Amino acid sequence: MQHYNHEGQGLRVVWDKENRLYSACGWMRDFMAYMRHAVDESPEPWKRAIGNAKAFARATDPDGYHGKIASFYEGSHSDWYWTNGDSTMVCETIEDVEEIAHKGWPDGVAKVAKLASEVRNDVPEAQEIKPHYVWQDEGDEFDIHRMWNGEVDSMWYGREDSTVKGPRVIKLIAPIGGSATKNASELFWCGATALVLCDVLERAGYRVAIDGLSIAEHDNFHSLAQIRLKEADQYVSLANLAVGLCLPAYFRTVGIHWRGTAPMSVGSGYGMSRYCEKNKVAKAHAERLGILDGKAILLGEARNKKQAVSKIRTAIQQVEEMI
């Protein structure tokens, strides 16, 4: 197994020859920095294809969100590196995508927030994990009067950890991108699903981390990209969710072009998107890397409001069964 660490970034890129898996795991911005490095060292035809992305595809719809996200050829009704209907917002290079990742995407944030508000009213609240506070030999607050009375075993007031049996930290795994049959506008439902579920769980007392996950199957290996969008101790960033889960250009970078850096040929189609909830091999790879564990909830693919509500309800039930 070979390990790579480029430019001192916190991204772990691994070619696991034994299991035929090429993987990258890390933060969104670290991934973008790695992509700059990868493009510089890539074969000229692949580098030229990325650098001239604008020439290969255009958004043909007025709002710039529709069209198949995986179409590669010029004039093919794709919004390959498009961000919205404003022609000044076309991403031509990896650097353009990185700039949006750093500065944010106001239009994308507004659309995710709007869809999330539509979904939120149709999902239940999660069962609260109310901590039980007791007097004990250690805790958060100290009572000097109890100490003076010799009650040293119960002079501290704090939360009794045993009151909650399940995990307090939940990791949400959301899909990045998808297959050629998926419209770019449908990506926003994934972002809305993650946002609403995160809100529901954190209101119930959980801490929530969010990862974006893209897995593809090639002729003789799989490739996997896991991108951290939110740590459990951070507030949710709408900007990160919008770019990481809903921006077609970001999926093109993470879900497709990154695979061109693999040590084996990925083929002209860059592989077929796979989902852990539907594909045993994809799930096994995610489990092997520790992405799927006892604290992980797979959101799955949501292409409309009905599917988003269903995914959230299922996830809430899964979390409550852990308690």
CB 175 within 8 A of CB 216: no
pLDDT at 42: 57
Q: Are strands 12-16 and 132-136 parallel, antiparallel or unpaired?
A: unpaired
Domain map of the chain by residue range? 2-54+104-124+165-322, 132-162
Give how far the C-alpha of residue 150 lies from the chain's centroid of Cα atoms, to the nearest Å.
52
| Burial state string for 307-316 with b = 16 or more CB within 10 A and e = fewer than 16 | bbbbbbeebb
* Band of residue 318 on the pLDDT scale cut at 50, 70, 90: very high
* Whole-number Å distance between alpha carbons of 236 and 80: 27
pLDDT at 131 over 60: yes
Of 286, 307, 288, 293, the residue nearest 215 (C-alpha): 286
Greater confidence (146 vs 15) lies with 15
pLDDT at 253: 72
* Band of residue 81 on the pLDDT scale cut at 50, 70, 90: very low
- The residues, any chain, with a CB within 8 Å of residue 171's CB and separated by 6 or more, are 208, 209, 210, 211, 232, 293, 295, 296, 297
Supply 140's token pair.
């958060």
Greater confidence (112 vs 10) lies with 112
pLDDT at 211: 95
- The residues, any chain, with a CB within 8 Å of residue 45's CB and separated by 6 or more, are none
* Whole-number Å distance between alpha carbons of 201 and 280: 28
pLDDT at 156 over 70: yes
* Whole-number Å distance between alpha carbons of 50 and 93: 6
pLDDT mean over 230-251: 88
Of all residues in the chain, what percent carry a pLDDT higher than 70? 72
pLDDT at 27: 87
* Band of residue 214 on the pLDDT scale cut at 50, 70, 90: very high
* Whole-number Å distance between alpha carbons of 300 and 302: 7
